[in-house]
Amino acid sequence: MMIDENATIITGAPGGKASSAPLLGRDAEPTLFELSHPGRRSWSFRTTGIPEVGVEDLVPAIHRRTAPVDVAEVSERDLVAHFTRLSHRQFSVDLGAYPLGSCTMKYNPKICDTVAGLPGLAGVHPAAPASMTQGWLGLMVELEETLCEVTGMAAATLQPAAGAAGELTGLLLMRAWHDAHGATRHKVIIPDSAHGTNPASVTLGGYEVVTVPSDDRGCVDMAALRSVLDEDVAGIMLTNPNTLGLFEEDIAEIAAAVHRVGGLLYYDGANLNAILGVVRPGDMGFDIVHMNLHKTFATPHGGGGPGAGPVAVSERLVPFLPGPRPYRTGSGEPGAAFGWLTPERSIGRVHTWHGNTLVLARALAYILANGGDGLKQIAQVAVLNANWIRQRLHHTYDVPFDRPCMHEVVLSTRTLKAEHGVRALDVAKRLLEEGFHAPTVYFPLIVEEALMIEPTETESPQTLEALAVSLEAIAAEAVRVGAEALATYPHGTPVRRVDEARAARTLIPTYDAKD
C-alpha cells in the first residue's frame, strides 16, 4: 500500500465535501471565492433571437470596463452545496425555540411564503399605473384599515421598511405638525429603557434627546418626566409594554401631561404583540404609532430583515402622512376602485416605492388567518408564557422588577455574578449548547447582566418546560463548575466563541481584505 507519488493536483481549490455540514460540524465552509475555479459556470438564459452585437458597439470606450468584475466561478452543483452547507451552520426559528427578547421570534406560518410567492403579487412592477395594480392597492388599503383598527388610529402609511424607519417617519410627522402650528420645538423625551433606535431616530429627526429615568417599578418616573416637560418638548417616544416587559401603568397621566405642553406621543410598536385586542395605543393617547410587522405579525426576519414598519396616526396628523398613499376612490368603474393620493401637507416619500410590499402581503395573510379573535389570544398566550417563565425561574435568577410582566421577562445574573462570577453572556452561550437560541443579553441597558426572555405565544408548554429546565440546570452548573468552566461554552456549535475584538481591531470586511 503506497500513495501515488506523481499524483497530479488538478486544482488547488478546496473540494466539495460536506465539511461544514453540521452532520459532522467540524471544519469551516470555504468561501465561494475559495471554491471558485476559472471557467466554471451555472448561468443560462433564454434564446432571444436578438442580434449579438459586440460590446464595443454597445458601450463607448470611456465607459467600458477593462477587467471583468471577479465575482466567483462555480458550477450550479457547487453553488447549491455551498449555500446548503451554510444553511446547516445557521440556527433558526424552524430549528428550535428562539426566546430573543424584544424580537418576537414567533413561528412564521408557511402559508405566508406561498402568498409572497403568488405570481400575481410577486410579478408586479412597482411603477405600473393604479389601473393595472388594483389588487395590490386593495390589499394595502385592507391592511391599512386593519392596522388602524388594531392600533386605534385614523390612518397609516405602509412605506417604512422597518421599525427604525417608522420611528424616523414618525418624528418627521411630529416636526411637520409642530411646524404647521408655528412652533419649532427642539426636544424629544425618551425613557432610559428605550431601544437604541429611538435616540438615533430622534437625532436624525433633528431633535435633541432628553432621557428620563425609570423608577423602581421599572416605569417612567413621573416626577422626572414632569420636571423636563415644557413648551420646547416636541413629544415623547414610549414602548408600552416597555423594554422591561412591563406595562406603563401611568400611561394616561403621561399622555395628559405631554399633551398639556403641546407635545405628541410616539408609540414604539415593537412590543405590540403583548396587547393585541386588549388595549390600543390610540386609546392610550398616542398620536403616532409604528408597528414591526416582522415581529407582531410573524413575517420572517430573514437573518436580519426584511421587515416592515407601518406608521399609523391620529386624525390630526393624517394630512402630513408620507405619500403617495393608496386609497378607496369610491368609483364604481372597473380598475378604478383604488388610486394613489398624496396628502396635501405630506412630509413626502420615505421609501423608494411603496414599502416592503411582499412583507405587507404576508402580514395581511397572517392577520386574516388569526382574525380579531385570534389576535387577542396571541397577546394572552404570549403574556401567559412569559409570566410562566418568570414565575418558574424567579428563585433561580434575579428578577429586577419582580411583578407580573407582559410578553417578555427580564432576568438578571447579578447574584450569580456577584457570588460566582458568572455573567449573563455565559448563561446565554451555555444555553446555545442546549439547543436553544440565547435570550437578548445586556438590554435594556438599565438592568445589569440582563437576560431578556420573550417566549412568544407559539412555543408550546413543553418547550417552555424544556427551556426552564435548561436555565435551571445552567444556574446549578454555574455554582458547581464555576465561571471559568462555563465560559468555555459553547462546544458543539459550528464555531465556538469568536474573537470580536480582533474583528474590530484588524478589520476584514471582505475576502479581498485578507492579507
Partner 1 sequence: MGTYIPHTDEEIAGMLAFLGLSDINELFAAVPEAVKLQRTLELADGVGEPDVLAHMEQFADQNRARNDRLVCFAGGGAYDHEIPSVTRALAGRSEFVTSYTPYQPEVAQGVLQAVFEFQTMVARMAGLPVSNASLYDGGSAAVEAVNLGVAATKRQTVWVSEGIHPHWRQMLATFAVGTGHIIRTIPLVGGVTAWPADPTGVDGSPGVVVVGYPNYLGCLEDLSAVRALCDRLGALMVVGADPLATGLLRSAGDWGADVMVGEGQVFGTTLGFGGPYLGLFACSSSHVRRLPGRLVGETVDVEDRTAYVTTLRAREQDIRREKATSNVCTNQTLMAVTAAIQLGWLGTSGLIEVATRCARATHYTRGAVLAVDGVTPWAEAPVLREFAVRLPIAADTVIERMADAGFLAGISLEGAVDGGGHGLLIAATERRTADQIDAYAAALAKAVA
Ligand X SMILES: Cc1ncc(COP(=O)(O)O)c(C=O)c1O
Which residues of this protein are in contact with ligand X, per CB under 6 A? 102-103, 162-164, 195, 197, 239, 243, 268, 270, 292, 307, 309
Query: Residue 239 binds what, of partner 1, its own copies, ligand X, none (CB under 5 to 8 Å, by partner type)?
Result: ligand X
Query: Residue 351 binds what, of ligand X, its own copies, partner 1, none (CB under 5 to 8 Å, by partner type)?
Result: partner 1
Side-chain-side CA neighbours of 331 within 13 Å: the count stands at: 11
Cβ of residue 260: shortest distance to ligand X, in angstroms? 26
- Give the Å distances, CA to CA, from 506 to 30, 31, 384, 497, 509: 20, 19, 46, 18, 9
What phi and psi values does residue 474 have, to the nearest 5 degrees?
-65, -40
Using the structure block, give the residue that is written with the C-alpha cell 471559568.
484
If you ran DSSP here, which 8-state letter would residue 351 be given?
Answer: S
Cβ neighbours of residue 30 closer than 8 Å, sequence gap 6 or more: 14, 19, 82
Q: Rounded to whole angstroms, how far apart are CA atoms 18 and 21?
A: 5
Cβ of residue 239: shortest distance to ligand X, in angstroms? 5
103 vs 264, which CB is nearer to ligand X? 103
Grid cell digits, residue 213: 429615568
Cβ neighbours of residue 344 closer than 8 Å, sequence gap 6 or more: 319
Q: Peptide bond before 324: cis, by omega within 30 degrees of 0?
A: yes
Query: Residue 467 binds what, of its own copies, ligand X, partner 1, none (CB under 5 to 8 Å, by partner type)?
Result: its own copies
* Of the candidate residues 260, 394, 480, 497, the single one contacting its own copies (CB under 8 A): 394
Cβ of residue 398: shortest distance to partner 1, in angstroms? 19
Contacts to its own copies from residues 277-296, by CB under 8 A: none
113 vs 231, which CB is nearer to partner 1? 113
Query: Residue 395 binds what, of partner 1, its own copies, ligand X, none (CB under 5 to 8 Å, by partner type)?
Result: its own copies
Contacts to its own copies from residues 435-494, by CB under 8 A: 435-436, 458-470, 472, 475-476, 479, 490, 492-494
Grid cell digits, residue 54: 459586440
Cβ of residue 204: shortest distance to partner 1, in angstroms? 5
- 110 lies in the site for its own copies, by CB under 8 A: yes
398 vs 457, which CB is nearer to partner 1? 457
* Part in contact with its own copies (CB under 8 A); list of ranges 35-43, 135-143, 165-173, 287-295: 35-43
91 vs 327, which CB is nearer to partner 1? 91
Query: Residue 367 binds what, of partner 1, ligand X, its own copies, none (CB under 5 to 8 Å, by partner type)?
Result: partner 1
Question: Pattern 212-231, binding to its own copies, x per CB under 8 A?
Answer: --------------------
If you ran DSSP here, which 8-state letter would residue 220 be given?
Answer: B
How many positions of this chain bind its own copies (CB under 8 A)?
Answer: 86
Q: Rounded to whole angstroms, how far apart are CA atoms 260 and 262?
A: 5
Q: Rounded to whole angstroms, how far apart are CA atoms 191 and 184?
A: 22
If you ran DSSP here, which 8-state letter would residue 495 be given?
Answer: S
Q: Rounded to whole angstroms, how far apart are CA atoms 335 and 56?
A: 45
Closest-approach residue to ligand X (CB): 163
Cβ of residue 295: shortest distance to ligand X, in angstroms? 7
195 vs 417, which CB is nearer to ligand X? 195
Q: Rounded to whole angstroms, how far apart are CA atoms 224 and 358?
A: 43
Query: Residue 15 binds what, of its own copies, ligand X, partner 1, none (CB under 5 to 8 Å, by partner type)?
Result: its own copies
Assign 120 to helix, strand or coil. helix
Question: Pattern 54-93, binding to its own copies, x per CB under 8 A?
Answer: ---------------------xxxx-xx--xx--xxxxx-
164 vs 246, which CB is nearer to ligand X? 164
**Quick one: which of 444, 96, 454, 105 has its CA closest to 294?**
105
Cβ of residue 402: shortest distance to its own copies, in angstroms? 13
- 414 lies in the site for its own copies, by CB under 8 A: no
Q: Which helix (H) or strand (E) holds 512?
A: none
108 vs 159, which CB is nearer to its own copies? 108
- Entry field: residues in the chain: 515
Cβ neighbours of residue 243 closer than 8 Å, sequence gap 6 or more: 102, 193, 194, 195, 271, 410, 443, 444, 452
Cβ of residue 212: shortest distance to its own copies, in angstroms? 33
Q: Rounded to whole angstroms, how far apart are CA atoms 503 and 274?
A: 37
- 393 lies in the site for its own copies, by CB under 8 A: yes
90 vs 227, which CB is nearer to partner 1? 90
Assign 499 to helix, strand or coil. coil
